[in-house]
Amino acid sequence: KISKCPVATHVNNQEEHGSMLFTLRKHWKKSLFAACSITYAFHYGSQRFREYLTRRKYFFAAQNYGEAFISPLDKPRRLYVVLNPAASNRKAKKLFQTNAAPLFYLAGIDVTYIQTDYEGHAKTIVNYFDPTIDGIVVVGGNGTIQEVVTGIMRQDEKNPVINIPVGIVPTGEQSNALFKRLFGSDVINVKAICESAMAIIQGQSSLFDVVEVKTDQKSVFALNSIHVGLHQQVKERLDDGKYWILGPLKRYFACGWKTIKNWPPIENGISVTCNKCSPLSSATPQEQPNSHLSKAACYTDKKLTQKESVGSNKITTCGLSVWLTELDQRSSFTVQYNADEVSKTEFIQHGAQWIKNKYKHTPADHLKTVICDELSITLNKGQELSYDIDGEIYDGRPIHVSVYPRKLHMFVPKK
């Protein structure tokens, strides 16, 4: 028998134990943690660098406006910025100061900051705005935008404040339907904030339709949609962050969970009266480019056609959605409601698709759609229902919904 040399065996063991593969295999937990940390650091660093390049691009564009010559008799543009610091988990102020505020400074704009302290504060401070300012900038989510619009629309017709253009810098967590209509995307990131700020700097404005929701108290004004009923209750829970752990399956689970107990939870508890109502004859998907420059703002991605008006119509349903629509260059409402008894399967399938479509008009066999100029909604007693008006929740009470065509001035991006 030939024995191995002790010296050679010792050298081979050192080489084996000193190799990288042996170390990674022996300490696989530490190796996995280190790999994940390096990957995350690389992704975080590359994302921050892309954001820096995006800001740099828009900073140079804003600087060109600031270097333009003006007459000695002309005053710099003045803007009031209404900032909601609680938006986006209290990140709104930092997002604005990092991305949008430098653009205004480089463009030579005089900016006055007004920070909201409580819910409804934005509606009150509009009463004290200087009518000579050149624009109002809303920094926040759907609720802040709605408060400012409501405060403006409640002003007297002779008040110059009603003609001041409004710009939005979206920093809320929820998708903003109005921002998507203007810029083609509802993804809130550095590019979206910079684009909205540049649209305000460029100064081009257009007239938009406004929805008035009359109650027994003061009117509320909106720009997009109203939802009430079964699917609205599911939407409210998802907006509150429920079932987030389920990821893309949360919309199916939320709709399915609604059908488990006390089905149907609402039994035709919504009464609707539509004025100048006409049934929908067809609906075909069609893109509407540059719609923010049209005579009226349309908030559906469908081209709708209607039959001849049949006057008023009374509807009893358990679910209702209303969208502001432009039809034949005339402002009207698209009303979708449950016409028949809804099965659990239909409720889950349509609800999940409706949520996936970001609460747009979604046709289904058990739903009917009509076009009307105005409508009244009454909730039966004993029904624990609430309204979703542009993403904000309001108590259930009788309301009358009408539209003011071409009423609100808003900053829009140039073509």
**Residue of higher predicted confidence among 384 and 245:** 245
Tell me, what's the pLDDT at 287?
38
Number of domains in the chain: 2
Separation of alpha carbons 321 and 177, rounded Å: 15
Helix or strand or coil: residue 231?
helix
Tokens of 311: 């006057």
- Residue 388: which of 329, 320, 306 has the closest Cα? 320
178 and 245 co-located in one domain: no
What single-letter DSSP state applies at residue 4? P
Token pair recorded at residue 179: 């921002």
Size (the chain), residues: 415
> In terms of domains, do 133 and 169 share one?
yes
Residue type (1 letter), 163: N
User: Does residue 163 sit in the same domain as residue 312?
Assistant: no
Same domain, 254 and 364: yes
The 10s digit of each residue's pLDDT in 95-152 is 999 999 999 999 999 999 999 998 889 999 999 999 999 999 999 888 889 999 999 9
Same domain flag for 192 and 246: no
270 and 122 both lie in a single domain: no
* Nearest-10 Cα torsion for 249, 254, 255, 260: 120
pLDDT at 301: 42
Residue of 323, 353, 354, 355 lying closest to 336 (CA atoms): 323
Does residue 266 share a domain with residue 194? no
Task: Give the pLDDT confidence of 184-223 residue by residue, as tens digits.
Answer: 776 678 888 999 999 999 999 999 999 999 988 889 999 8
| Pairwise CA distance, residues 320 & 280, whole Å | 16
Whole domain around residue 326: which residue ranges? 225-281+307-389
What 3-state DSSP class applies to 257?
Answer: helix
Residue 294 pLDDT exceeds 70: no
Which CATH number belongs to the domain containing residue 70 in this structure? 3.40.50.10330
Query: What's the pLDDT tens digit per position in 248-267?
Result: 899 999 988 888 876 765 66
The answer to whether the pTM exceeds 0.75 is yes
Query: Is residue 233 domain-shared with residue 174, that is, in the same domain?
Result: no
User: Do 333 and 322 contact (CB within 8 A), yes or no?
Assistant: yes
Same domain, 123 and 229: no
pLDDT per residue over 325-364, tens digit each? 877 677 889 999 887 678 888 889 999 999 888 888 888 8
Is 287 contained in some domain?
no
pLDDT at 151: 93
| pLDDT for 96 | 92
Contact assessment for residue 107 and residue 199, using Cβ atoms and an 8 Å cutoff:
no
Say if residue 261 is in the same domain as residue 339.
yes
The pLDDT value recorded for residue 283 is 45
Please tell me the distance from the alpha carbon of residue 267 to that of residue 271, in angstroms, as a whole number.
11
β-strands 78-83, 110-115 pairing: parallel
Pairing status of strand 135-140 against strand 166-170: parallel
Please state, in angstroms and rounded to a whole number, the distance separating the CA atoms of residues 108 and 134: 13
Q: Is 78 part of any domain?
A: yes
| Residue 35 within any structural domain of the chain | no
Note whether residue 188 is domain-resident. yes
Output the CA–CA distances (angstroms, integers) from residue 97 to 46, 89, 153, 190, 265, in the order listed.
Answer: 21, 16, 28, 12, 46
Is 288 inside any structural domain? no
pLDDT grade, residue 299 (50/70/90)? very low
Least confidently predicted of 17-26, 62-71, 245-254, 256-265: 17-26
| CA angle 327–224–272, rounded 5-degree value | 75
In-domain check, residue 9: no
> Are residues 320 and 183 part of one domain?
no
Residues 202, 327 within the same domain: no
- Establish if 290 belongs to a structural domain: no
Q: Examine residue 29 and state whether it is found in any structural domain, yes or no.
A: no
